[in-house]
Amino acid sequence: MDHIDRISPFQSEAAAFEKAVRRAFDRGGPVPAVPSCPGWTVSDLVVHLGGVHRYLAHVLRERLVAPPDPAGLGLPQVPAAPDALTEWFAQGARELARLFRELGPDTPVWTWSAEQTSGFWLRMQLIELAVHRWDAQSATGTPDPLDPVVAADAVTQTFEVMAPARRAWKAAPAGSGERYRFRSTDGPETWTVVFAADEVLLERGPDRDPGSTAPADVEAAGTASDLALFLWGRLPATALRATGGDAALLPHWFTLVPPV
């Protein structure tokens, strides 16, 4: 996906998140818990995501090349009333989308990754927003799957960015050559991931890397949405179909790539 192609899905996911939050608040009674985020209610989810959006809007607006201290941002107090909290989220998402459109993909800004650009943040925030929209919907019913294109990008981004970062943050054990293959059942994508010592090596389909046809220790198939949600810890390994190798290695993924 190109930068400009991510802006509309970001806005759509923000609208869907807002709708899910309003549905949760309109039920009356205690604010629903979020099953996929243990210990959090829908209000906690809104505060988290809205706070992230405002933090990043500050980074982008000021073109910061170092991380700001959240305590020094001077953000207004988060409203407690459900309607005001929901509108607070919506305002922050609209401002962030505006900045993404204004800056384009190549503006140098601080990120926690090696890629120090505004485009990194749009890719990251579209994926995070889609996952948290799924979380919010799960609080009151059956959530809609992730968009297949967004989900496939989320799978790739996990292997390119999130897995190496999570291994470093959590001091994960060294890989011993474990070879995982993931196949999308609603698209042409195939990903093969190899854990070689401290490295996470990504191979794409055989048209890009003939070595990706080599046997895998475990091979799992599912829709792009199910693959992404598994990798983000939202679905169990049993949601995927093991088509080769040792299915017991699927849960081992989260030893090699610890949750954050």
**How far is residue 56's CA from residue 66's CA, in Å, rounded to a whole number?**
12
Mean pLDDT of 91-104: 98
**How far is residue 88's CA from residue 196's CA, in Å, rounded to a whole number?**
44
- Give pLDDT tens digits for 6-36: 999 999 999 999 999 999 999 988 999 999 9
- What pLDDT does 213 receive? 65
**How far is residue 107's CA from residue 86's CA, in Å, rounded to a whole number?**
30
User: Per-residue pLDDT for 76 more than 90?
Assistant: no
Beta-ladder partners of 193: 180, 202
**How far is residue 190's CA from residue 212's CA, in Å, rounded to a whole number?**
9
- Give pLDDT tens digits for 192-247: 999 999 999 998 765 444 445 678 999 999 999 999 999 999 999 999 999 878 88
Question: CA–CA distance from 203 to each of 8, 166, 179, 241 (Å)?
Answer: 29, 19, 10, 20
Q: Residue 165, exposed/middle/buried by CB under 10 A (0-12, 13-18, 19+)?
A: middle
Q: What letter would DSSP give residue 71?
A: G
Between 71 and 7, the more confident residue is 7
- What pLDDT does 74 receive? 66
- What pLDDT does 144 receive? 98
Looking from the CA of 34 toward its CB, the CA atoms found within 13 Å total: 23
The answer to whether the CB of 181 falls within 8 A of the CB of 209 is no
Residue type, 237: A
Q: What letter would DSSP give residue 70?
A: G
Mean pLDDT of 167-182: 96
- What pLDDT does 215 receive? 87
Task: Please report which confidence band the pLDDT of residue 248 belongs to, taking 50, 70 and 90 as the band edges.
Answer: confident
Mean pLDDT of 39-57: 97
Instruction: For residue 36, give both structure tokens.
Output: 């996929």
Q: What letter would DSSP give residue 33?
A: B
Beta-ladder partners of 145: none
**How far is residue 59's CA from residue 125's CA, in Å, rounded to a whole number?**
14
Domains and CATH numbers, the chain: 3-144 (1.20.120.450), 149-256 (3.30.1050.10)
Percent of the chain past pLDDT 70, that is, above it, reads 95
**How far is residue 35's CA from residue 214's CA, in Å, rounded to a whole number?**
38
- What pLDDT does 210 receive? 43
The answer to whether the CB of 190 falls within 8 A of the CB of 181 is yes
User: Per-residue pLDDT for 191 more than 60?
Assistant: yes
